[in-house]
């Protein structure tokens, strides 16, 4: 047994011991990929355990996240703040070693992985961010941004459709510093994959424009080294290294089979594995010489120190660039940005314009874009409909990555997960757009942004039956409720240009919460407001129209239906009834306001309430109560002009008035 395999066996031992102690987990992948990890992490990975957030570190993503003990073992052995006691708490409550890698729980974890395929998608986003940032800030003799993104992935990642979306785009964009290791062990949970996965993976990736290195013995350190050298020497294409491995390597009775994929080996098999690997140490025992050879602390400190010296020289030679890069890497917005947003909103209020909120969104981008060089936008082949291609937008290409706009193509899921990778990398405010209906294709990536507390900005247009003739396949009904009920997600559906500006401002200023900005295809009237009302938009819900004294009835509406609520209010007011209109562009933001503020907007003793929104009605019961009424959708839409559809489904001012009168007369 070579010294290298002995060091790799430390990963195998820790992985099988932790899974056994937890009585659950996946020992097979860590044991099978240990030799690859040993070469990559000890010889090539540029990182500093003393500073996991160092800006120019290489990124490592374990896309097959079920093999989490692999990365936990690596982090522990190389010197990150992850103790042997932490490994013993694998999969336990409040531990730093959850069942799948979770961003924010463990130092050195770059992204949350678990849903297969999203790790490689995040890695593509990180590699994209590196390439764009380097193109924007590097100068002759100063490659201040210069790092690789490495990812491990398995059969499951490659079977997931998102892998096609993102890997195809990675090839097109020439992400030459992206290197993926495919753990080709032929086994998944159900057994040998040849029964359901017979793709020619090498040809597939070659067709994407990747360099492919085939048939690498994943247990031969020399072969792995040669493959990595070849991968790093190719700078114009991403590289896929196909590593032939044995799942559960070292387990004499279970290696090479599904029995070691997702279950502990068992005490007897672990004892046999120790003997097979010539690993004589007790559970969770790592000899001092192994720790010494694995430690990356001194090497990491030296490589970061070298970079810091280059940074000082860069700062002296290019002070303005250095200042801007530092601001962006720190996630800081330009000075007084919040004031800029409010001033712009007030300016719009003073110059009313009846337009679709998607057009208002474009106007915001044209206003804010020049002030926010960190914006990295895009659309899933719908720029002309989403209106995300603002005046200063410049496409990112393989040959010129200095732009600020990504043509994602028809890749809603891939786009959204790539955005998360860009955001995790740092240096950008990433936004990407599609129709609200097609959020469904991307749903899990949106959820992952919320789970990871990453402020990706998801732009959705064509927000309702108001898109009209394309019909129910394109008309969202239940999607708004879905987004609003996602923890740690702010969903905005503004009613006019002013609310649109505030929504964008909130999304850009968010640091730990993703945003969904939902815009209309159809035009809307701009509402009248005073300065206090403009300021109150940022609270998510506010009084738009009111009466003297306490109202008898409250209308609550969002987006294009605010117009209808105002019409209903005006009719009732003419009839001498006391009514109020509450515009609620973001229910999520309103819900986190103080109890006093919420009471001032929706007094508890005013129980007669009507909500109006061209979305699923049940969502609004939390605001109107069981005795209130909701004007909205209970079915899917139809194909017809928008005006006809609103009448057909009874989403009209007349319906709102009738509902109010039923409540008032009850």
Number of helices followed by number of strands (H, E) in the chain: 27, 18
Dihedral through CA 435, CA 437, CA 439, CA 440, nearest 10? -150
Tokens describing residue 425: 């990398």
563 close to 495: Cβ distance less than 8 angstroms: yes
Read off φ and ψ for residue 506, nearest 5 degrees.
Answer: -65, -40
609 close to 625: Cβ distance less than 8 angstroms: yes
CA distance 159 to 161: 6
Alpha helices in 497-560 (DSSP H): 497-509, 531-536
The set of residues, in sequence order, having a beta carbon less than 8 Å from that of 52 and lying 6+ positions away, is 80, 107, 108
| CA dist list (Å): 8 to 5, 146, 294, 439 | 5, 28, 10, 42
| CA dist list (Å): 5 to 40, 215, 221, 271, 290 | 13, 19, 8, 18, 11
Number of neighbouring beta carbons within 10 Å of residue 77: 25
Number of neighbouring beta carbons within 10 Å of residue 567: 18
Query: How many CA atoms lie less than 13 Å away from 649 in the CB half-sphere?
Result: 29
Strands (E), 285-382: 375-379
Catalytic residue among 269, 374, 412, 561: 412
Number of neighbouring beta carbons within 10 Å of residue 560: 29
CA distance 54 to 563: 50
177 close to 149: Cβ distance less than 8 angstroms: yes
CA distance 608 to 625: 9
Closest CA to 619 of 601, 606, 633, 600: 633
**230 labelled catalytic:** no
State which H helix or E strand residue 581 sits in.
strand 579-583
581 close to 564: Cβ distance less than 8 angstroms: no
SS3 491: strand
The set of residues, in sequence order, having a beta carbon less than 8 Å from that of 617 and lying 6+ positions away, is 611, 630, 631, 632, 633, 634
Number of neighbouring beta carbons within 10 Å of residue 631: 27
Active-site residue set: 412
């Amino acid at each position: 047994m070579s010294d290298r395999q002995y060091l790799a066996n430390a990963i195998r031992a820790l992985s099988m011991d932790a899974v056994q102690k937890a009585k659950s987990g996946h020992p097979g992948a860590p044991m099978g990929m240990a030799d690859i990890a040993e070469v990559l992490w000890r010889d090539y990975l540029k990182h500093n355990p003393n500073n996991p957030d160092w800006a120019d570190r290489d990124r490592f993503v374990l896309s097959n996240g079920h093999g989490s003990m692999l990365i936990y073992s690596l982090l522990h052995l190389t010197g990150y703040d992850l103790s042997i006691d932490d490994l013993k708490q694998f999969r336990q409550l409040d531990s730093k070693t959850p069942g799948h890698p979770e961003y924010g729980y463990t130092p050195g974890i770059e992204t949350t992985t678990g849903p297969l395929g999203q790790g490689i998608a995040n890695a593509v986003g990180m590699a994209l961010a590196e390439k764009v940032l380097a193109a924007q800030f590097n100068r002759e003799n100063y490659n201040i941004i210069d790092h690789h993104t490495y990812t491990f992935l398995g059969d499951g990642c490659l079977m997931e459709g998102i892998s096609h979306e993102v890997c195809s785009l990675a090839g097109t964009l020439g992400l030459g510093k992206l290197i993926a290791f495919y753990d080709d062990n032929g086994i998944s949970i159900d057994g040998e994959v040849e029964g359901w996965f017979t793709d020619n993976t090498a040809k597939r990736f070659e067709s994407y424009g990747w360099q492919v290195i085939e048939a690498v013995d994943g247990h031969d350190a020399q072969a792995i080294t040669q493959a990595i050298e070849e991968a790093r020497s190719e700078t114009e294409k991403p590289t896929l290294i196909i590593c032939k491995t044995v799942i559960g390597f070292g387990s004499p009775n279970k290696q090479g089979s599904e029995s070691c994929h997702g279950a502990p080996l068992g005490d007897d098999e672990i004892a046999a594995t120790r003997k097979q690997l010539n690993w004589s140490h007790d559970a969770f025992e790592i000899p001092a010489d192994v720790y010494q050879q694995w430690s990356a602390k001194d090497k990491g400190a030296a490589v970061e120190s070298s970079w810091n010296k280059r940074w000082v020289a860069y700062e002296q030679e290019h002070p303005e660039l250095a200042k801007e890069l530092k601001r962006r890497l720190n996630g800081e917005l330009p000075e007084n940005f919040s004031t800029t947003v409010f001033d712009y909103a007030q300016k719009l209020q003073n110059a009313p314009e009846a337009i679709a909120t998607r057009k208002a969104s474009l106007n915001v981008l044209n206003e804010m874009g020049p002030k926010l060089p960190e914006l990295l936008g895009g659309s899933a082949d719908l720029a002309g409909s989403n209106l995300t291609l603002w005046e200063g937008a410049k496409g990112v290409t393989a040959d010129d990555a200095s732009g600020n706009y990504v043509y994602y193509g028809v890749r809603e899921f891939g786009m959204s997960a790539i955005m998360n990778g860009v955001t995790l990398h740092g240096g950008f405010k990433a936004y990407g757009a599609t129709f609200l209906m097609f959020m469904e294709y991307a749903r899990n990536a949106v959820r992952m942004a919320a789970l990871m507390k990453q402020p990706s900005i998801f732009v959705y247009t064509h927000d309702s039956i108001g898109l009209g003739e394309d019909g129910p396949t394109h008309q969202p009904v239940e999607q708004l409720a879905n987004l609003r009920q996602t923890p740690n997600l702010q969903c905005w559906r503004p009613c006019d240009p002013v609310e649109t500006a505030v929504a964008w401002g909130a999304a850009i200023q968010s640091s730990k919460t993703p945003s969904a900005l939902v815009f209309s295809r159809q035009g809307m009237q701009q509402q009248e407001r005073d300065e206090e009302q403009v300021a109150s938009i940022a609270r998510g819900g506010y009084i738009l129209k009111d009466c003297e004294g306490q109202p008898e009835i409250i209308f609550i509406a969002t987006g294009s239906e605010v117009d209808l609520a105002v019409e209903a209010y005006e009719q009732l007011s003419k009839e001498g009834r006391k009514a109020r209109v509450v515009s609620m562009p973001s229910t999520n933001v309103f819900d986190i306001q103080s109890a006093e503020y919420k009471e001032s907007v929706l007094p508890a003793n005013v129980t007669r309430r009507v909500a109006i929104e061209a979305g699923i009605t049940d969502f609004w019961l939390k605001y109107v109560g069981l005795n209130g009424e909701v004007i909205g959708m209970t079915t899917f839409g139809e194909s017809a002009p928008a005006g006809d559809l609103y009448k057909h489904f009874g989403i009209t001012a007349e319906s709102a008035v009738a509902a109010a009168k039923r409540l008032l007369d009850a």
